[in-house]
Structures are given as structure tokens and as C-alpha cells.
Amino acid sequence: MADIADIKKLARSLCLMNIANGVIDLNYETVSNRDYLNKILKQEVECRAKKKANERYRSSCLPKKVF
């Protein structure tokens, strides 16, 4: 079961302030919804991290070399 604190932490890192600040109360949601929400937010964090790494690589203007 996903912990509400973990979900709020992920929401804060994704700038989803309604969930992070408790405007949307996760205590009234069912257990399966919390697990699903936790999984989706973790995937979003991973996707954003990969995208940010790719953007940094492209902006560095380094040549694409394989050694």
C-alpha cells in the first residue's frame, strides 16, 4: 500500500500543489487508487528526469561519440 506521505512528496516534486498541500484529501480514496496514483507519479518523476537529462545533453553541444 502506498503511503500518503510518499504521494505528497512526489506531488510536491511535480508541482502538483493541490495534492501536496492536502487540498485534495487522499484519506478518502480507496487503497487501490493510492497505489495507482503512487505508481503514476513515480513514472512521471522518472520521465521528467530523463527529459531533463536529454535537454542538458543537447544544450551542452557535445558531439555524439561512442568509445
Q: Got the DSSP string for 25-58?
A: -GGGS-HHHHHHHHHHHHHHHHHHHHHHHHHHHH
Residue 42 lies in a domain: yes
Tens digits of residue pLDDT in 48-67: 888 899 999 889 988 878 87
pLDDT at residue 2, as a whole number:
73
**Tens-digit pLDDT profile for residues 13-42:** 888 766 666 666 666 655 557 777 887 788
Return d(Cα 7, Cα 11) in angstroms, integer.
6
> Which stretch of DSSP H or E encloses residue 16?
none
Q: What's the confidence (pLDDT) of residue 55?
A: 92
Query: In which domain, by residue range, is 55 found?
Result: 4-60
With respect to residue 28, please indicate whether it lies within any of the assigned structural domains.
yes
User: 67 in a domain, yes or no?
Assistant: no
Structural domain total, the chain? 1
At residue 59, the pLDDT reads 92
d(CA 13, CA 48): 10
